[in-house]
Structure 1
């Protein structure tokens, strides 16, 4: 991939364009690759990138797939990095998600910035995100509640005040309760809901839309 005349940070990461920032969060919010056919996705939905990295292989090679779907809003793909990851790996993950976000924005998609970065490399979380950016997302974990608070503060500082969108994906009842109390948007983990449907079919009445957990991307409508 090359950077088509985009401004870059000192680390070589593309700067996002404020004009591409999401200002609304269309429902449903679905994981990339969770719907096998593009025709199955409701028009105007939101893709999120909190899925297995294997689903990003085609995405990086064929980024137009996202723009060709009915979704109009996209959360940056969360390429996995860990505290033990070396710096070049962490920077490469940051570069790729910012490159894709900048590219999709240029195709007319509205972008939500991913904040879910390990603590060691948190300084890279907002590399390439301009001040005033209003839309953010992260993945929730019941055993890492402090991280959600820290990520919200990052978003608040970069937005210059409470961000217009702060989406938390997954984490269970405890995370959902915190989001409700703080006025954040919470979206449940679809795979967990699907598993609960199988175990407690009568109790899972508020499940997310059907999805295919084994799909690796939107491969057309066939």
Structure 2
């Protein structure tokens, strides 16, 4: 990784003071390294990390939550590295890519997701890429920085019985397969109960 360190500068640069990483695509999106990933036995949301009493080495952390519950990891990235490093696997943050957001804001949220995942990898944390998209136009950049032939994770929360939403999801699914060639896709469907998260695994 091409790490540009500006920690000696008293100014802040939207986390560039902590690291600037090799970027890909027209927007210089940080590129994650492909890692050997073993799916953990259990997953918890980031909002549970601070109070979690279970075995961290057998637990993964996801960010399929409202953005306000994890915006702090971008605002203070150094604070959470030690905490997250205890877990078996950490998904990159699922910052929202709403189709009615300005495109610049959508790209910014994708950049932040990739930057944090790459930053965590420099500390030896096992990271699984979270993939998401908004509409067909987002396919031009929303997979930038996601390593090919790697497991990925995504969510179907909120799709419900909306036929148009599912149609858009399947268009994004097919675009993801073409661009990322994921080896496996872990699909988060929501909580089955307070302590048991529900996942499906799709082999591509």
Q: Shorter-chain-normalised TM-score: which range?
A: 0.7 to 0.9
Of 28, 39, 47, the match for 1:25: 39
Aligned match of 1:145: 166
SS at match of 1:114: coil
Q: Residue 186 of structure 2 aligns with which residue?
A: 167
8 Å CA contact 1:136–1:155 kept in 2: the answer is no
Q: Could you say if the C-alpha distance between residues 154 and 67 of structure 1 is closer, same or farther in structure 2, counting changes exceeding 3 Å?
A: farther
Structure 1 residue runs without a partner (length 5+) = 171-188, 195-206, 210-222
Which residue of 2 is the match for residue 6 of structure 1?
21
RMSD: 2.4
Say whether the 8 Å CA contact 1:139–1:169 is kept in structure 2. yes
TM normalised by structure 1 equals 0.67
Give the whole-Å Cα distance in 1 for the aligned partners of 2:180 and 2:105: 27
Offset, 1:153: 2.8
Contact 2:146/2:180 (CA < 8 Å) preserved in 1?
no
Say which of 42, 57, 63 aligns to 2:56.
Answer: 42
Is residue 2:200 matched to residue 1:208? no
Question: 1:16·1:129 contact (CA, 8 Å) conserved in 2?
Answer: yes
* Higher relative strand content: 2
SS of structure 1 residue aligned to 2:110: helix
Cα distance, 1:11–1:137 mapped onto 2, change above 3 Å:
same
1:22–1:111 contact (8 Å) kept in structure 2: no
**Does the Cα contact within 8 Å between 1:16 and 1:102 map onto a contact in 2?**
yes
Preserved CA contact (<8 Å) 1:74 1:109: yes
How many residues align? The count is: 173
Q: Which runs of 5+ in 2 are unaligned?
A: 1-14, 198-204
Match 2:138 to one of 121, 135, 152: 121
Partner of 2:123: 107
Q: How does 1:178-217 map to 2 (within 5 A)?
A: 189-190=190-191, 193-194=193-194, 208=196
